[in-house]
A = this chain, B = another copy of it.
């Protein structure tokens, strides 16, 4: 029997408490699987005394989480504090500086400083593992880095934010407006008091930055991601989507184009018969399209105490078993600063909803603008007639460059008969 792996846990929020519960409940199972025991030797949190449902009295306590790394009885540091700077970053850097492996659930930190931390981990000769940072309990980091390592990825996309998916699923099932469902999600604990991080797409973009790096061996580049949230999605658009054979999901998508790497987070219309369309509520899903494997789909719980603890434990098992992998799938000195494929060159179909005065010539004016920008309309819906009142007009375009689409929407929005700013949602071919 090898000696135990002694873990210093920084952060005792949902994830940290979940990890302690898991390591306690599965102690014998993990010993059998890893050939050694996994023990928590020391912990750190903002306050030592607090009702957490676990007993930490037998564990060493560090007031400052960065001090965990300095302890002789800590072999590996689990950073479960969160945030792209402050004590989280200091804790990770302190551990790597002392050549101790790190497990983290911190997507913001990796999205912002992933490449530099990968280099630090490699210089130290230790693992920097982060399965819990993307898609909760779904082992997607391992799948991209190892299980699908024989593939060039055409595209990787997914539903990476459970809060948004819960809200959109509820809106779809009940027809209620965004604000009402958000308020309910906040009461139920599925959304934060300040929901911006989730509903504006930032959390999904952090995760996408990591997936992009893994899929393409590229330096993490959060700023390259085009990010839109779901606040603008209305029940009307959800109803039209269904009528057209789509549902609306907040998708995070990365793919390689002729210009570089295109990465984007935005609401997208996806066909109802694709696997990801039926991923509802707080579930996450990731689809990897590889040139040999074809389409591989991974679905599971994207957040919460149990699933996140499962992912952290998987990383700890890897370390206990002596496995060390390049952080983003290639050695850190071979990570590329990949060129960014600009969003204005995005090419795809679009859904557009207009609110126009019902009078002769309006459709002709809109059609002329689209023609001048060489945008071809696939279908157009105009329901009901209310002469000289506002009515909705819905169009689906054929594949179009984003730059032309934005120019068209700008011109259309300035027509006097168009009463509201045009609503545009990208359609994703899956």
Contacts and interface: CB of A to CB of B under 8 A. Distances in A.
Interface stretch (A60-68, A148-156, A162-170): A148-156
Contact of A329 (B25, B33, B300, B330): B33
A376 interface: no
A134 B146 CA distance: 16
B137 A334 contact: no
B149 A313 contact: yes
A150 B317 contact: yes
B318 A151 contact: no
A296 interface: yes
Given A146-B318, A149-B317, A331-B35, A296 B300 contact: yes
Interface in A278-329: 278, 290-301, 306-307, 309-314, 316-318, 321, 323, 325-326, 329
B331 A325 contact: no
A152 B26 contact: yes
B296 A138 contact: yes
Contacts of A39: none
A30 B149 contact: yes
B295 A300 contact: yes
A179 to B, nearest CB: 29
A357 interface: no
Contact of A294 (B25, B300, B313): B300
A228 to B, nearest CB: 28
Interface in A101-160: 131, 137-139, 142-143, 146-152
A32 interface: yes
A299 B299 CA distance: 9
B217 A33 contact: yes
A369 interface: no
A5 B421 CA distance: 59
A109 to B, nearest CB: 22
Contacts of A244: none
Instruction: From A151, A152, A275, A321, name the one whose CB has the most chain B CB atoms within 10 angstroms.
Output: A151
Given A297-B297, A297-B298, A292 B275 contact: no
A294 B146 contact: no
A297 B302 CA distance: 12
Contacts of A334: 32
A22 interface: yes
A415 interface: no
A29 interface: yes
Instruction: From A131, A310, A312, A329, name the one whose CB has the most chain B CB atoms within 10 angstroms.
Output: A310
B310 A290 contact: yes
Nearest to A137: B293
Given A150-B22, A314-B148, A292 B321 contact: no
Given A149-B33, A296-B300, A321 B313 contact: no
Given A26-B150, A150-B317, A301 B310 contact: no
A32 B147 CA distance: 16
Nearest to A34: B149
A292 B137 contact: yes
B297 A300 contact: yes
Contact of A217 (B18, B32, B295, B309): B32
A310 B26 contact: no
A296 B151 CA distance: 22
Instruction: From A149, A292, A307, A316, name the one whose CB has the most chain B CB atoms within 10 angstroms.
Output: A292
Given A131-B147, A137-B292, 12 more contacts: A18-B292, A22-B292, A33-B149, A149-B314, A150-B309, A290-B310, A293-B307, A293-B311, A294-B300, A295-B301, A297-B299, A323-B325
- Going nearest first, the 8 A-B pairs with the smallest beta carbon separation are A139-B147, A150-B313, A137-B293, A296-B300, A293-B310, A297-B299, A292-B306, A292-B310
14 contacts: A30-B149, A33-B329, A35-B326, A139-B148, A142-B146, A146-B318, A146-B323, A148-B314, A150-B310, A150-B317, A275-B299, A292-B306, A296-B299, A299-B299
